[in-house]
Chains A and B, each alone.
Chain A
Amino acid sequence: MRERLFIVTMLLPAMVLLVLFYGYPIFDNLRISFTDLSLLGMKKGGNWVGLANYRELFHRGDFGHILFNTFVWLTATSVLLRLLMGLGIAVLLNTRAMKKLRLASVARFALLIPWATPPIVAVVIWRFLLERNGVVNETLMRLNIISQPIAFLADMRAVWPSIVAIMLWNTVPLIALSLLSSLQTVPEEYYEAAELDGATNWQVFRFVTLPFLMPAILVLGLMSVFWSFNNFVYVWLATGAGPGTFTNVLATEVYLKGFVDFRLGYSSAIGMMMAIIMGAFGILYLRLVARQQLEETL
Chain B
Amino acid sequence: MLKLLAAALITSAAMIGTIRFADADPVTITFRFNDTEQEVRGAIDAFEKQNPNIKVDLQRIGWKDARNQFLREAAVGQGPDVAHVAQVWVTEMGDAGATLALDDLIRKDPPPNGFADFAAQDLAKGKDGHIYGLPWTTDTWAMVYRTDLLKEAGIESLPTTWEDIRKDSEAVYKKTGKTGFGFPAGSSASGAMWFLANFYWWSHGKELIVQKPDGSYAIGLTLEDVTESMNYYKKFMDEGDNPRPNLAASDAHDPAIMQALITGNQAMGAMPPNTFKEALKAYEDANPGKPAPFASGPFPHQNNTKSSMIGGRMLVINANSKHPDAAWKFVKFMASQSVFADYYRTQFPAQTSLLKQIDFGAPLKGFADQFPYARTWGAYASGPVPIGTLWNVTQRAFGKALSGQQSTENAAKELLAEIGKQMP
Residues on A close to B: CB < 8 A? 39-43, 127, 131-133, 149, 151-156, 239-246, 256, 259-262
A131→B92 CA distance, assembly (Å): 37
Interface residues of B in 62-102 (CB under 8 A from A): 68, 71-72, 75-76, 92-93, 95-98
Choose one: B75, B96, B245, B403; the contact of A132 (CB below 8 Å).
B245
Chain B contacts for A245, CB-based, 8 A: 187, 396, 399-400, 405
Interface residue tally of chain B, by bracket? 35 or more
Chain A contacts for B92, CB-based, 8 A: 40
Residues on B close to A: CB < 8 A? 68, 71-72, 75-76, 92-93, 95-98, 185-189, 191, 243-248, 250, 256, 386, 388-389, 391-392, 396-397, 399-406, 411
Top 4 closest pairs, chain A to chain B, by CB: A244-B400, A240-B188, A154-B247, A243-B403
| A244 B403 Cβ-Cβ under 8 A | yes
Chain A contacts for B95, CB-based, 8 A: 40
Binding site secondary structure of chain B = helix
Supply 12 further A-B pairs (C-beta < 8 A) apart from A154-B247, A240-B188. A39-B72, A40-B71, A42-B72, A43-B98, A240-B250, A241-B188, A242-B247, A243-B399, A259-B68, A260-B391, A261-B386, A261-B392
A118→B96 CA distance, assembly (Å): 36
- B190 to chain A: closest CB distance in Å? 8
- B296 to chain A: closest CB distance in Å? 25
Binding site secondary structure of chain A = loop
| A43 B97 Cβ-Cβ under 8 A | yes
A136→B147 CA distance, assembly (Å): 32
Chain B contacts for A43, CB-based, 8 A: 75, 96-98
| B244 A242 Cβ-Cβ under 8 A | no
- A241 to chain B: closest CB distance in Å? 8
- A233 to chain B: closest CB distance in Å? 13
| B396 A244 Cβ-Cβ under 8 A | yes
A262→B422 CA distance, assembly (Å): 12
Closest A-chain residue to B391, C-beta based?
A260
User: When A40-B96, A151-B244, A155-B244 are in contact, do A243 and B256 touch as well, CB less than 8 Å?
Assistant: no
- B207 to chain A: closest CB distance in Å? 21
| B411 A244 Cβ-Cβ under 8 A | yes
Chain A contacts for B186, CB-based, 8 A: 154, 240, 242-243
| A156 B392 Cβ-Cβ under 8 A | no
Closest A-chain residue to B385, C-beta based?
A261
Chain B contacts for A132, CB-based, 8 A: 243, 245, 256
| B71 A42 Cβ-Cβ under 8 A | yes
Chain B contacts for A155, CB-based, 8 A: 244, 247, 403
| B392 A242 Cβ-Cβ under 8 A | no
Chain A contacts for B406, CB-based, 8 A: 244
A149→B97 CA distance, assembly (Å): 50
Closest A-chain residue to B69, C-beta based?
A259
Chain A contacts for B400, CB-based, 8 A: 243-246
User: When A244-B405, A261-B392 are in contact, do A41 and B244 touch as well, CB less than 8 Å?
Assistant: no
**Could you name 21 residue pairs across A and B whose Cβ atoms are closer than 8 Å?**
A40-B71, A41-B96, A42-B75, A127-B248, A131-B248, A131-B256, A132-B256, A151-B247, A153-B245, A154-B247, A155-B247, A156-B403, A240-B186, A241-B188, A242-B187, A242-B403, A244-B396, A245-B187, A259-B68, A260-B388, A262-B389
